[in-house]
Amino acid sequence: MRTYELTVGNGLKRLLAMLLLPAALCLTSLVGCVRTGTPDADRTEARERGPADSPYPMFGGNRSNHMVSHAKLASTTGDLLWQVEPLGLLASTITVDGNRLFVGAISYSGRSGTINCLDGKNGNTLWKKTLKGCVISSTPALSKDGTVAFGTQFLVEPPTPLRGTSDPQMDGEVLCLSSSDGNILWRTQVPGGVVGPGTLDNRGRFYIGSCCKEALAFDMRDGTIIWRSACKDNVDQAPAITDAKVFFCDEGGHVYCFEADEGRLLWERSLTDSALSGVSLCAKSVYVNGRDGQIYALRQDTGAIIWTRKIGASISGCPAIFDERFVLVGNSTGKVVCMDVASGKVVWESRGEGEVGSVMISADGLAVIGRSKSEIAVLRCASGKKVWSYPIGLEMAAAPSIVSDGRVVVPIFGGLVVCIK
């Protein structure tokens, strides 16, 4: 196997800077929805709704964002199975449908984004959809009806200010593709663009945030925006949802609870001046990670704070929920902490080197930890005991994912996808 020495050149550094640049000025006109492919009348009635029945169909694994896979890991040994040639700059989590893997990438030229469908058995490309003039860092969400939904952000280099302002206009789209061949079924323009993942519910809706300080709900049949609600800052994390409510967090430290049907704001809570990096649900509580190094537990009905816990350094991932009893988070120093969901009491800690994003939990109670430029480690959720580890000296783009037969796949920032058996 080849070993890759991957660096980010000046062009990619500019691209990343543009990716993180907020769209400070948003359009106030109605957005457009373009439908392509099979007409709605031929496919609306036959559509199955909800996330795909697969190990990891969307960011978080389920609509509560538990960061859980339905696949088991007990048979893995921590040995390299395969790695693919660089796909481009990877910035999204890999989602899994059986033995098919879906991941978004950005070309090294910075001029296009791609959605890649890979064979999980060997890493071969099954199909690739290229979208010119945009970046894709939004994790693909896989639906039961055989479609893939995600967001993009358009790029203009250098960004073009609107007349009379010094702020760049950066818009984007939410798109829906066929998971069998990448054919575009519909695309809807979104002011500000989308850089984060979205969440599917069981009614055929796709909830996602934008870089125009909005939370949005889309109809998966045709891309119609069902509702859009204002937030106080850009929204770049996946929402968590129940039958009646949708919970978002933003880059300005706010958490929001919206009515799922019409987007009416039920409550809002300001937690910190720092960005929030993920929201999960368990029982009647909301768990939120902060870049200020704290995890917050709130009541779902009012947003009142139940408890907080200082982890120490910045937390960049979504809270992972194990067995409805424990919440696991990692931070930028390589520490992983397991806490009781009811009290926030620390159950165990694991220390290492390299920033930890989100923790992934398998169906048999193992936690997969990605420590960037260091290792992939598998720990027992109940005790924190290490089962195995695999050294990776490269920067990871996102949390590892688990394939149907228990293999671990890891997106590497510079373009590799690594599979460990």
Residue 323 has pLDDT above 90, yes or no: yes
- Confidence class of residue 244 from pLDDT cuts 50, 70 and 90? very high
Phi-psi region of 264 (alpha: psi -120 to 50; beta: other; left: phi over 0): beta
Residue 302 is predicted with a pLDDT of 98
Residue 29 is predicted with a pLDDT of 37
Residue 156 is predicted with a pLDDT of 61
With a pLDDT cut of 90, the percent of the chain lying above it is 70
Residue 33 has pLDDT above 70, yes or no: no
Residue 403 is predicted with a pLDDT of 87
pLDDT tens, 43-72? 444 457 789 899 999 999 999 999 999 999
Handedness of CA 58, 415, 394, 20 (dihedral sign): negative
Are the beta carbons of 300 and 245 closer than 8 angstroms? yes
Domain for residue 323, yes or no? yes
Domain for residue 148, yes or no? yes
Residue 251 has pLDDT above 60, yes or no: yes
Residue 286 has pLDDT above 50, yes or no: yes
pLDDT tens, 190-207? 999 999 999 999 999 999
pLDDT tens, 132-177? 999 899 999 999 999 999 999 997 654 444 444 444 557 999 999 9
Residue 390 is predicted with a pLDDT of 92
Domain for residue 11, yes or no? no
Domain for residue 337, yes or no? yes
Residue 16 has pLDDT above 70, yes or no: no
Are the beta carbons of 62 and 54 closer than 8 angstroms? no
The total number of structural domains in the chain stands at 1
Residue 245 has pLDDT above 80, yes or no: yes
- What mean pLDDT do residues 218-246 have? 97
> Looking at the chain, how many residues does it have?
421
Tell me the CATH number at 234: 2.130.10.10
Neighbours of 43 (CB within 10 A): 15
Domain for residue 31, yes or no? no
Q: Which domain holds residue 242?
A: 49-161+168-420
Whole-number Å distance between alpha carbons of 390 and 37: 43
Domain for residue 13, yes or no? no
- What mean pLDDT do residues 107-111 have? 84
- Confidence class of residue 400 from pLDDT cuts 50, 70 and 90? very high
pLDDT tens, 367-394? 999 998 889 999 999 999 999 999 988 8
Whole-number Å distance between alpha carbons of 246 and 250: 13
Domain for residue 17, yes or no? no
Domain for residue 24, yes or no? no
Task: Look over the chain and give the mean of its residue pLDDT values, rounded to a whole number.
Answer: 86
